[in-house]
Homo-oligomer: A and B are copies of this chain.
Amino acid sequence: MSLADPAPLQPFLHRLLSRSELSTAERQAILDLPFTPAQIAVNRDFVRLRERAEEAFFIVEGLVGRFGQNREGIRQTTAIYLPGDMVGLRSIAGAETNTALQALAVTTVLRVPHVALRNAARSFPALAEAFWRECVVDAAILAEWIISIGRRDARARLAHLFCEVACRAGRSVPASGARFPFPATQVHIGEMTGLTSVHVNRSLQGLRRDGLVDLRERQIHLLDWDRLAAVGDFSPEYLSLECGDRIWSR
Interface residues of A (CB under 8 A from B): 19, 50, 52, 66, 68-71, 74-76, 78-79, 90-91, 93-99, 118, 121-122, 125, 128-129, 131-133, 135-140, 142-147, 149-152, 156, 193-194, 233, 235, 237-238, 240, 247-248
Chosen A-B contacts, 7 in total, with CB atoms closer than 8 Å, are: A68-B143, A70-B151, A70-B152, A98-B235, A142-B142, A149-B149, A150-B193
The oligomer's copy count stands at: 2
Q: Using A132-B135, A194-B151 as known contacts, say yes or no to A140 and B96 having CB atoms under 8 A apart.
A: yes
Excluding A50-B237, A135-B136, A150-B193, 13 further A-B contacts by CB distance (< 8 Å) are A70-B147, A78-B142, A90-B136, A90-B139, A93-B132, A93-B135, A94-B136, A95-B237, A95-B247, A118-B248, A121-B129, A139-B142, A150-B194
Judging by beta carbons under 8 Å apart, are A194 and B143 in contact? no
Q: Using A125-B128, A128-B132, A135-B136 as known contacts, say yes or no to A147 and B94 having CB atoms under 8 A apart.
A: no
A248 to B93, CA, bound (A): 7
Q: Which residue of B lies closest to A121 (CB)?
A: B129
Q: Which residue of B lies closest to A89 (CB)?
A: B136
A94 to chain B minimum Cβ distance, whole angstroms, is: 4
Which of B78, B147, B247 meets A69, CB within 8 Å? B147
Judging by beta carbons under 8 Å apart, are A93 and B136 in contact? yes
Question: Which residues of chain B have C-beta atoms less than 8 A from A248's C-beta?
Answer: 93-95, 118
Judging by beta carbons under 8 Å apart, are B238 and A97 in contact? yes
Judging by beta carbons under 8 Å apart, are A144 and B90 in contact? no
